[in-house]
Structure formats: C-alpha cells, structure tokens
Amino acid sequence: MDLKGSDSLSQTFPDGTQVSFFCDPGYVSTGGSAVITCNAGTWSPVRLKCEKKNCNSAGVVENGHIDYPTGTEFVITCNDGYRLVGNSKILCGVQGWDGSLPVCEVVTCDPPPVVEQGTFSPKKETYKFKEVVQYSCQNGYTLDGSKSLSCSEDGTFVPAPPKCIKVQCGDPVIGNAKWVEGSRPPYGYKATVTYQCISGYVMTGPSTLTCEVNRHGQEYHSGE
C-alpha cells in the first residue's frame, strides 16, 4: 500500500492530521479503514488490508506465449522471428488486466546494401525473417564474400555483404621455366597456366598456377 496524494511527499505531519492509504496495482482491499490519524506524535494503527489479486487468463497472443510468474502480472515472449509491439508486462488491477495485450509482429528487414559492380535478387521493399537474397557481379567481376544473405532476428541482413572485384593477375615469374599451356594475358579469375623446367632443372612445387583471390581481397597466383 501507499499514501494517497501529496501526503506521500511530506516528511512531518501536525497533530490531528489524517492520511489515507490505497492498495498498490495488483492488490485489492480486503477490508479495514484506509485512514490513520496522528495523535500526540503517534499514528493510529493501519487497519487497511491489501492482498494480491489474481486475474484469469489474459488471452492468447498469436506468434508468442504468455507466462504468469506471480499471478498479478504476465510476461509475453514472442516466437523466433517475431518482435513485441506494446508493453511486455501488464498488471492485474481491480477491474482485471490493466491495459491491452501487445502483439508479436514478424521481423522484417530493409533492403540489403548495394554493392558496386553487383546486384542482388529478389528486390523488394521489405523482407521477412529468414528470407534470403543472392548477390551476383557484373561480367568481368568476381564475388568476394558470401553470396547469400538472410534477414536476421534483429532486422538486419547477415553476414556482411560481399564485394565485386576485378581479378587480374600479373605474369608469373618463374626462373628457369617455360610456358607449356594455359591462358594468355591478361589473366582473369581462374585463369591457369602450366610451366615446365628447362633442360638441366628439376621442378619443385606444382606445375600449374591459377589466378585466385586471397583472404584480403587481393589478386595473386596460387598453385594447384
């Protein structure tokens, strides 16, 4: 219980002052006077009695569920892919549940980032939870990163968007070797060349090299 009105802010009360109590939200009066009196420096006994009020079920929340931890309040939790709109806690008052039920709305994402020299599909104004977009690059550019992004629980696309880079490797520098077969410059993504040693030399390592993209997004030659 609490004091009514401005009395709750006072520190001292003159002799003969009367103050009133009221039951807190979630509690109801079961009898007894709500008024006490200051008499010669002593308050009269508090007769008001307040006990917890238990309400019936608050109803059903679509795409979520309700827990009743105390009987005087409930907590709504939304299912995966949904977020709460409204108050998650509502108290059981004198007239029943105090307030209206919140709702669980499906999580949506704004369109994912635009990538230079690339595009994604499908293109929509909003995307639902777990909906996937696929990135692709223009001719002559190679995708570096994840091709697929999905709408996550926090309303953003994950993982980070890829990049579209133009892969072009320089001429391999291999001493005492000669080109046998494969691509000719300019060397683009996945271009391969094969070398063999000149007379009098033995090869160490692979004979075929492939133009790839390393983990830093730079171009280089890699042995197969």
pLDDT per residue over 124-152, tens digit each?
999 999 999 999 999 888 898 999 999 99
Q: How far does Cα 172 stand from its chain's mean position? A: 46
| Whether residue 149 sits in one domain with residue 130 | yes
Q: Where residue 144 sits, what CATH number does that domain have?
A: 2.10.70.10
Residue 219 has pLDDT above 80, yes or no: no
- Pick 153 or 8 by higher pLDDT: 153
Domain count, the chain: 4
**Domain with 157 in it:** 108-165
Quickly count: other Cβ atoms within 10 Å of residue 119's Cβ: 14
Quickly count: other Cβ atoms within 10 Å of residue 23's Cβ: 19
Strands ordered across the beta sheet of 219-223 = 177-182, 192-197, 208-213, 219-223
In-domain check, residue 171: no
| Whether residue 158 sits in one domain with residue 132 | yes
Residue whose token pair is 């993982």: 159
Per-residue pLDDT tens over the stretch 172-195:
888 999 999 998 888 888 889 999
Per-residue pLDDT tens over the stretch 63-92:
998 887 776 677 888 999 999 988 777 777
Residue 3 has pLDDT above 50, yes or no: yes
| Whether residue 8 sits in one domain with residue 25 | yes
Question: Of 165, 158, 154, whose CA–CA distance to 112 is shortest?
Answer: 158
Residue whose token pair is 């369109």: 111
Final residue before a domain boundary, out of 145, 165, 185: 165
Q: How far does Cα 130 stand from its chain's mean position? A: 12
| Whether residue 154 sits in one domain with residue 113 | yes
- Residue 94: pLDDT band (50, 70, 90) is low
Q: In the prediction, which pLDDT does 71 show? A: 65
Q: What is the mean pLDDT of residues 21-41?
A: 88
| Whether residue 129 sits in one domain with residue 161 | yes
Report the alpha-carbon distance of residue 60 to residue 74 in Å, rounded: 12
Mean pLDDT, all residues of the chain: 86
In-domain check, residue 89: yes
